[in-house]
Structure 1
């Protein structure tokens, strides 16, 4: 009978760990699906993506002398990171993104999540301190 080498023991342990981890992930996903009733499941948003969040209302206002606007868009916005929502500061597009937890960030205030696109536009105006927003080139 061949002896068990260190390499074979480590390979067997790694295989068992990977199998157990995959089984745990599958089991937790099945349990989550079973506990979610159809009434509480995420509904597709305006862009057809399932985020579980409704699209914020449109806005158009002057904030600290700057015109900020935002509205839902069909097609998911720029590379659909904006969750189907477009935001503008003085007519220049402010790229925004909805996080998994429902908060929003922009290219100007990327590390400071806010509750909605209007707050993202206001945070960008605050951060710009009077400077013009330079549009990002489309890929």
Structure 2
């Protein structure tokens, strides 16, 4: 006999409903994730909005200095085009994601549209604590 049982029909219905639900979640989640990560990012890499002389400001009592040096060195590595961020004179390690958003070691699980907002978020999260410079594994301070 080639008839389908109620148990098999129920299993097929549950599987189809799950597939439709996961597809809807994926479509809704992908748009929100890309919009929140970097609203101004472009695939080709946006020009950074850092003036030629850099940024030197006080934010919540902490001095933030951001410079864009074409021959910048970060942690002993040559990283051309990467901004250098210092909070109270100590370098904040900054990383660029593939979608042109930015993260720091202080806010490693939160992305930012530009280095300026990443630096300000790091200052807020430090809550007055001193920034300990990032050193790659195996290097001493």
Q: What does residue 114 of structure 1 align with?
A: 112
Quickly say closer, same or farther: Cα 1:118–1:94, change in 2 above 3 A. same
Q: Shift in Å at residue 75 of structure 1? A: 2.7
Q: What does residue 4 of structure 1 align with?
A: none
Aligned length: 90
Matches within 5 A, 1:32-47: 42=44
1:72 aligns with 2:65: no
Instruction: Output the CA distance in 1 between the equivalents of 2:86 and 2:78.
Output: 16
Instruction: Output the CA distance in 1 between the equivalents of 2:128 and 2:94.
Output: 19
Q: String of CA shifts for 1:41-95, please: whole Å, max 9, x gaps.
A: 95xxxxxxxxx33233131111000001101122354235685210000000001
Q: What is the TM-score normalised by the length of structure 2?
A: 0.56
Q: What does residue 96 of structure 1 align with?
A: 94
Unaligned stretches of 5+ residues in structure 1: 1-40, 43-51
Q: What does residue 55 of structure 2 align with?
A: 59
Instruction: Output the CA distance in 2 between the equivalents of 1:112 and 1:80.
Output: 25
Q: What is the TM-score normalised by the length of structure 1?
A: 0.57
Q: What does residue 127 of structure 1 align with?
A: 125
Unaligned stretches of 5+ residues in structure 2: 1-42
